[in-house]
Amino acid sequence: MAKKRKTREQKKLADQRHNFTHSLANHSHSEAKISLQNKENVKPLIKPHAVVSINEYPYLIKDLSKTGLLTAAIITSQLILFFLLKNHIFTIPGLIY
């Protein structure tokens, strides 16, 4: 799966964060407050009620259906094997049910 690339706004926020931490280490406390005030003016990138569309993850339904079918096949085969062993239709040496 490929990594999601950062948007320009995310890069600007990261740059401001980095500059803020560097300004705390290198400069006085008053300059750090200025950087903090600039950071507060930036609007958040995440929407509070973002709806995920189905087209955003086209592989998800296919993968979940494959996983569900494989799980159902494994459980069914275990139940069939248990039934065969319990009724002595099929025997495995050294295994007693």
3: three-class secondary structure by DSSP:
coil
What is the per-residue pLDDT for 47? 57
Are 58 and 96 part of one and the same domain? yes
Are 58 and 31 part of one and the same domain? no
Are 64 and 94 part of one and the same domain? yes
User: Number of structural domains, the chain?
Assistant: 2
Tell if the pTM clears 0.85, that is, is over it: no
Are 60 and 95 part of one and the same domain? yes
Q: What angle do CA 27, 31, 35 make, to 5 degrees?
A: 115
For 19-71, the pLDDT digits (tens) are 876 555 555 555 545 555 555 555 656 656 666 566 677 788 899 999 999 99
What is the per-residue pLDDT for 16? 83
Q: Output the six-digit token pair for 92.
A: 């495995």
The parent domain of residue 14 ranges over 7-48
For 75-96, the pLDDT digits (tens) are 999 999 999 999 989 888 888 8
Cα gap 22→20, rounded to integer Å: 5
Q: Tell me the CA distances in angstroms from 96 to 21, 74, 79, 83, 84, one per residue in order.
A: 68, 22, 16, 13, 12
Domain annotation covers residue 26: yes
Are 91 and 56 part of one and the same domain? yes
